[in-house]
Copies of this chain bind each other. A is one copy, B any other.
């Protein structure tokens, strides 16, 4: 069942996370969470002849692995909700076309894991689906050549730049499972005028703070009511700005706040500047790190608030600022 709570939040019942899986590339497997992931690939081409095809296969692998864990054929899934960073979301459409599952394309940039998971939870909670899959991916090489510069150019990166994760995560939402979805807050676009495409963290921070504030206000809770709060991929710059914005609104308990972009890589040793980013960053950290802790009992309640920068190279070239968005899912161990 779905009920509206306050102005922006949905209370969800009857939607659980039945299984999940992550698939990552070489650098991610060498990071601090390297041992957490289900599938790791030492060759970032995944044996494909283009980065785009490699990313599509990464997403397909995450879905197949999640299905395998709950012993379901693709036919057991009523909807697959997916999206990614590539133009026209081709990792999703090409990676998932062979499954024959009704396909609901979603676009939330790096917030996609929370968008697809939130929508899948609503569809299962309201009875539109018995089971739904939520999946997203990103790939460092396909993202660099599309959004920034060809890898061969060897361009220097600014200190505020983040490293797009080569990673995918997939969650199967069903009526039963070890983790349940309590609430979903779909975010509003926030745009405070940041135009620097090498500083996505700053562009996304206001939307993260806004969605968290909306959620706390709607549910009459504070960070201390949760074991951990994760934003998607704000990185060093963005997560510190998000913390600052929340403190300005007198939010306490921010020692519970972490950012997936700060967890995936070792910033000292892995040369990722301000941290990890990309749809696959929060997706793989959710599936590889956060959800297992909810199962093990280390966490009981968690907020997962993935963040996205809703621009394109074209809009930035035209001098537009970068609109940010953040969708939130409140998860609880059963």
Contact among B2, B104, B108, B318 with A127 in the assembled complex (CB-CB below 8 Å): B2
In the bound assembly, the distance between CA atoms of A52 and B128 in angstroms comes to: 35
Cβ contact of A315, chosen from B1, B52, B100, B310, cutoff 8 A = B52
Copies of the protein in its oligomer: 2
A50-B318 contact given A102-B186, A127-B4, CB 8 Å threshold: yes
Stretch binding the partner chain, chosen from A86-94, A223-231, A246-254: A86-94
Asked whether B311 lies within 8 Å of A90 as measured between CB atoms, the reply is yes
Q: Is A235 close to B, CB under 8 A?
A: no
On chain A, the number of residues with a Cβ less than 8 Å from chain B's Cβ atoms is 59
In contact, B313 and A87 (Cβ under 8 angstroms): yes
Nearest chain-B residue to A210 (Cβ)?
B100
Whether the Cβ atoms of B100 and A188 lie closer than 8 Å is yes
Q: Is the CB of B187 within 8 A of A314?
A: no
Most chain B Cβ neighbours within 10 Å, of A1, A52, A93: A93
Residue on B nearest A48 in the bound complex, by CB? B318
Q: Which residues of A195-226 have CB atoms within 8 Å of chain B's CB atoms?
A: none
Known: A53-B318, A122-B128, A126-B122. A89 touches B105 (CB 8 A): no
The answer to whether the Cβ of A323 comes within 8 Å of any Cβ in the partner chain is yes
Report if A109 contacts B (CB, 8 A).
yes
Residue contact A128 to B187, C-beta cutoff 8 Å: no
Instruction: Kindly identify, within residues 168 to 192 of chain A, every residue whose CB is under 8 Å from any CB belonging to chain B.
Output: 186-189, 191
Q: Which residue of B lies closest to A323 (CB)?
A: B97
Are A312 and B105 in contact (CB-based, < 8 A)?
no
Task: Please list 6 pairs of residues, one from A and one from B, whose beta carbons are closer than 8 Å in the complex, sorted by A's number.
Answer: A2-B127, A85-B88, A90-B312, A90-B314, A97-B323, A106-B107
Q: What 20 new A-B contacts, CB under 8 Å, besides A90-B320, A105-B106?
A: A10-B128, A83-B105, A83-B107, A86-B312, A87-B88, A87-B313, A88-B109, A88-B310, A88-B311, A88-B312, A90-B312, A97-B323, A102-B186, A102-B188, A103-B187, A104-B115, A104-B119, A106-B106, A106-B107, A122-B122
Could you list which residues of chain A lie within 8 angstroms of chain B, going by C-beta atoms?
Answer: 1-4, 8, 10, 49-50, 52-53, 78-79, 83, 85-90, 93-94, 96-97, 100-109, 115, 119, 122-123, 125-130, 146, 186-189, 191, 310-315, 318, 320, 323, 325
Closest A-B pairs by Cβ, 5 of them: A126-B126, A105-B107, A93-B310, A88-B312, A97-B189
